[in-house]
Amino acid sequence: MGDPAIFLTGTGTGVGKTVVACALALRWAAQGRRPRVYKPAESGCELKSEGLYPADATALKAAAGDGRPLSEICQYRYALPMAPAHAAEEEGNPPEIEKIVDAISELRSRPGPLLVEGAGGLLVPLGPGTRMSDVARRCRLDVLIVAPLGLGTLNDTQMTVRVAREEGLSVAGIILNDLTGMESPSTRRNPSAIEELCDAPLLGVFPHISGLDSGMKESTEAGSIAARRLGEAINYVGWNSLG
């Protein structure tokens, strides 16, 4: 069995993709597997003196211990919090699918696992005539779906799995992310409901970690506060099936 190559997507925006991605990258790094991470396009970047700052890609880089320049890990950056294709209509520099495919192909030629994080969900417009699903399909990446644990997730998760199947993508699994830490009838029922309704394995429920967002802004390097807290949550998910 070769090294895993995962495309991590969400059922929408704000479901905690980067939190789960950092946890997986930290796990692989702790195993000494030297993972590589890649986020082709990131919107909503803060403008700093050195340029647009991709916070998600920076967190992934630190969690994985990936020593490559940030410019290689996140090629396309936008200030507007919009789909990359639409942000590029305002700011220029539209993502080019061929360059993204070439970058992923080069990364796959190296030993070790690869984690590619998308923007939003599978059908988010990436560039002219392309969607995020095209990256996973063209690069033959297994899809890992992150979905919120609470009310509303059943429809969105089933739709995401259905889109993945229609696109010919292999779904490696689903992770439900507890965004609030508040128990309810839906949070109790949804894990078993997802197993019943979705033709894809449920890998687990990623627990709510209070205050994690601020910690991740500081650092996700091994030994950091955020890394330690993510490490405590890793055992709630059955990662082994991902390789």
Active site residues: 39
State CA 48 to chain mean position distance: 24
List, in sequence order, every residue forming a beta bridge with 237; answer none if it has no partner. 204
Burial class of residue 129, CB neighbours in 10 A (0-12, 13-18, 19+): exposed
CA terminus-to-terminus distance, the chain: 8
Burial class of residue 14, CB neighbours in 10 A (0-12, 13-18, 19+): exposed
Q: What is the C-alpha separation between 197 and 185, in angstroms, rounded?
A: 17
**Shortest CA distance to 5 belongs to which of 116, 90, 83, 161?**
116
The amino acid that residue 215 corresponds to is G
